A and B are shown apart, each in its own frame.
Chain A
Amino acid sequence: MIADEIVLSFPNITRVTMSKVLEYCNIHGAGADDETRAFDEQFVDVDQKTLFDLVLAAHDLKIKMLYDIVGERTGDMMKGKTPEEIRIIFNIGENSCVDDHPLQKELNPWAFE
């Protein structure tokens, strides 16, 4: 017997995130224009937890346009931050970064002045 509806389950995507993804897809269904661009700007202006969930969801669901804008927004989080600040945001422990690598030693101040 053929089912009337097909159930897809995404155990890694919360209901809240999925509803945001669907909202994005509905707005962009008709193609990009000024309105969708304005929508996108406020769509990615979210807290880090939501952004993180959207990055994972867009990647898992393979929605390229959404992945692009949330990926770009994630990159924006890193801009203008020092390596130490980036480590705090990404919870990177000291033992994975302190080392004597030659690249590390020649960056300051040349790259950051």
Chain B
Amino acid sequence: MSFRSIVRDVRDGFGSLSRRSFDVRLSGLHSRGKSQGSINDLIDNQASLVVQNSRWANLPPELLFDVIKRLEESESTWPARKHVVACAAVCRSWRSICMEIVRTPESCGKLTFPVSLKQPGPRDVTIQCFIKRDKSNLTYHLYLCLSPAALLVENGKFLLSAKRTRRTTCTEYVISMDSENISRSSSTYIGKLRSNFLGTKFIIYDTQPPHSGANIAPPGRSKRFYSKKVSPKVPSGSYSIAHITYELNVLGTRGPRRMHCVMHSIPASALEPGGSVPGQPEFLLPPRSLEDSFRSMSFSKSLDHSTEFSSSRFSEIMGAAISTDVPDSEKSKMPLVLKNKSPRWHEQLQCWCLNFRGRVTIASVKNFQLVAALPVAGTSQPPPPPPPEHDKVILQFGKVGKDMFTMDYRYPLSAFQAFAICLSSFDTKLACE
């Protein structure tokens, strides 16, 4: 009896046999005697696989959809969420089912696929994370908080990592989705933060371009990346998506420093009713085209970093971002500007205070809360009170332990942008008394 015919008999006979008689039949095969033991074992194993396999392959797609949908709803937090991701990795049709079912962090508040890290967070709640610093390796790891006691027991789902490297004229933080291999040349590289020598100005670079309407004014080489000649395949390169500045406030070092972030990839209109963040990526690691890899390599080698951070460039960008003297046609292109919320002076405690709602427990000059900065009106008018949407804390960062920091972010920032902004707070040298 050939192996094939035995398997066929088993499969055909399956429907009409009860389990018991099936077992008997198999043992009957054994007693046939002539074949070697190992061949009989192989037949047994293959036969049992066939028993299991033949049915589920025929599950109708709409039923499979229901099963996966139910799974997605029940496995809403990590590490269980990986079961949903595992389904997406099974095959093409399962993947399209999962991509249809899984919603963005903005609409459901959950991080699922890696691209969630570059998509805006939810509007009504924050996504709570923590950052663990390793001073010996100069690395930083971002984790999603998995429970209320996440900070105490360091219970988190790994999200992103960063590694600091010092160069002659600047410091760079390479950001990666790999917790071990954090390097620009790795395929897991997703962006970086670069600071000027003093640590007062920073630029966030994304490997993916912002939306096509993003208006960034720096002249020179970087303009190349915004030209329409960019290849249709999503290129991977170095796109500056935000500028961050730190300044002493009017009280000098006796008061908290001032922070401004100009988010070129997020229009100010994103915070208005019905607003959204355009140009969101579909995947975290888009395929690189050869041409663009080459272009980004030559760009970074030849760039004179000092011109990026020139005062005139930065004030031009900042001024343009917060000016009200903008024609209506250009208003939709104005980038969102974030600034840090001013702490109040607490007379009795003799210190500056911000309400971190329990998420920050150690006083530090690095702690901050970012809110939207409204355009600066003419000096003759007093600034109007900010509308409710603009009063929300969009990013909060603060110390909770020797090398532990919390990071809470919400719409319109993404985890990647929030992480990069927090890294700048580690680096800036502006202290205050």
Contacts and interface: CB of A to CB of B under 8 A. Distances in A.
Whether both chains belong to one complex is answered with yes
Interface of A: 47-49, 52, 55-56, 59, 67-68, 71-72, 74-75, 78-83, 86-92, 96-97, 99, 101-107, 109-113
Contacts of B63: 55-56, 59, 71
B82 interface: yes
A48 B58 CA distance: 13
Nearest to A48: B52
Interface string B1-28: 0000000000000000001000000000
A83 B92 CA distance: 12
A89 B53 contact: yes
Contacts of B287: 102
B307 to A, nearest CB: 34
B247 interface: no
Interface residues of B, number: 47
Contacts of B360: none
A97 B88 CA distance: 10
Contacts, number: 120
B412 to A, nearest CB: 23
A68 B70 CA distance: 9
A36 B53 CA distance: 31
B85 A91 contact: no
Given A71-B66, A75-B74, A83 B286 contact: no
Contact of B88 (A88, A107, A109): A107
A104 B115 CA distance: 12
B92 A75 contact: no
Contacts of B95: 101, 103-104
A87 B70 contact: no
Contacts of A92: 57, 90-91, 94
28 contacts: A47-B19, A48-B52, A55-B63, A55-B67, A59-B66, A74-B67, A75-B74, A79-B71, A79-B75, A79-B80, A79-B83, A80-B83, A83-B89, A86-B90, A88-B53, A89-B52, A89-B53, A90-B56, A90-B59, A96-B91, A102-B285, A103-B95, A103-B283, A110-B158, A110-B177, A111-B85, A111-B86, A112-B82
A112 B85 contact: yes
Q: Is the interface of A mostly helix, strand, loop or mixed?
A: helix
Given A55-B63, A71-B70, A102-B283, A111 B91 contact: no
A102 B114 CA distance: 11
B186 interface: no
Contacts of B60: 56
A55 B60 CA distance: 10
Of the listed residues A72, A82, A102, A105, the one surrounded by the most CB atoms of chain B closer than 10 A to its CB is: A102
B71 A75 contact: yes
Contacts of A103: 88-89, 95, 99, 113, 283
For the complex of A and B, 7 pairs with smallest distance between CB atoms: A91-B53, A97-B91, A91-B57, A75-B71, A83-B89, A102-B283, A111-B85
Given A97-B92, A107-B114, A110-B178, A88 B55 contact: no
Interface string B24-53: 000000000000000000000000010111
B411 to A, nearest CB: 23
Contacts of A74: 67
Nearest to A113: B158
